[in-house]
Chains A and B, each alone.
Chain A
Amino acid sequence: MALEIVDSCVNCWACYDVCPSNAIYSSSPHFKINPRKCTECEGDYHHPQCASICPIEEAILDAGGAPLNPLGSLTGIPPEKMEEAMREIQAR
């Protein structure tokens, strides 16, 4: 049971500082999670901390490979509403 950081990571260090298990380490080409140390924050926090601060959608996956921050979850705009939002913003 461990989370995983994938290619879209931009190396911003935010997760590194908030991990209660010191499971995250700087690596190339991007940060990684040591699966032996990762607890998914169970016992420490209600939500995994790395995924709660990560600014990039789909950069952190759960043990089953599903993104903890799916597309649209961080911009607040679900993909199907993207065009509408864009029109509204461009009218400003």
Chain B
Amino acid sequence: MNALTLVLLTPLLGALILGLIRPPPLAGWFNLGVSALSLAAALWLAWSVALVSDLPGDLGGPGAINGPIAGSLAGDIFGLPFRVDAFNVYLVVLTAFVALTTSVFSRPYMRYVLAIGRIGPRRLRTYHSMYQLFMFTMLVALTTDNLGVMWVAVEGATLATVLLVSLYRTPEAVEAAWKYFILCGVGIALALFGTVLTYFAAQQVISDPAAGLNWSTLYTEAGRLEPAVMRLAFVFLLVGYGTKVGLVPMHQWLPDAHSEGPTPMSAVLSGLLLNVALYAVVRLKMLVDGSLAHTDNPHLAGYLLMGFGLTSFLVAGLFLHRQRDIKRMFSYSSIEHMGLMTFGFGLGGPLATFGALLHMLVHSLTKSAIFVTVGHATHIAGTQAIEQIRGLIRTQPTVGWSLLIGVAAIAGFPPFGVFMSEFLLLTATMKTAPWFTLVLLSGLAVAFAGLFRHLHPMVYGTPPEGQQPVAANMIPVAVHLTLVLWLGLAIPAFLANWLDRATGLITGTRLL
């Protein structure tokens, strides 16, 4: 558990110290250092989980039913139960990794923002402190075993980011932040109602009141939880956490918050926060599936996820076409991909779940790379309006090419990783629900067209007079896109095994 303590403590202490550090250049470097330390701790944690879950007698061969409680590390920190297994440690590592690369990008980016006077040093301090606090809340939400603490952490993530969205204090930014705050606040309040109902259901079967909110306890007792209560609870939980996932029609906050906040924030919101919310939904779906297993409609939770997922996927794909702000456009693309993942998790089955997990990874990597590139592009053009961003490839080839490659990757071109995961999801759909394949394919085509019709002039058009390149740090983009490319060409064995183990935890059946 030492690794976990380190994972959680690093960003928390980092946030506290960053709240005190005055000189901006130092804070940027310190932020980077804290993120690097977090990643190291996360890798250590992953390593210890890998050691535990490889114990003999645990996860058996392909097709074996695994207890999800086995193969996980449990422990208490300050009396709070934490539990780390293959599923959440995967997201912990991803979170820490994207946090690190984004902090690499954010250092020069925020210095530039400071230099042009959009923010003062005090707000920069808030920014850095909140950045780490946000990481802390996400990591707590991922690793905690207690559903109540998870709720508190997800709400905490909203609170930590809401000031960042309004960082620039323009009327638009304030409006976006207010929308974000109110909508997510309401959504998350509904999720708390769902949590209360879950706890109520648990109390009828679990004698220890303190353990009634522990996911692991609930999961072992899931079959005895009252189905009617759990059904209602799940609807509230799905609507609540779904608001944070950005599912249509609760997505209204997402494009605004992404477009008006600082770009590094957009990268982590899109790449990480949405994942965490989806993680919560999947965990809760596992509970509900257990509870509803013997009722008339055992896949209710799955159907709900499929419905919400598909709606988000299609609606966001259509909205891509009418965007005029580059960051808004990519946030709709995030909604689209989150919809696809939600659909995949709803479909259930090892193949779809594996695909969705992989998609989480490649989407996070690609989308944060894109937002980083977009950040540079907006600095080059001095605006976020798509119409005025022109000829990137001539002004600054690295940014232009990165945007082109990133969009190609996110649109699902082979040989990138997104293609792999989308292919897996399509195959799974073809197997279980063939009719939806057509819908998915047309949705992908619509989204593809939407992205490229805006992309082409931005990359190839004639640059306006006097457009100058900016100092850009393209290392994070290069790393991310290389990883995505690598994942598209060949998934390394350890990662496949890891994802497979997570799939085993979620569906009870392993794929490989």
A and B: partners? no
Instruction: Please report B residues at the A interface, Cβ cutoff 8 Å.
Output: none
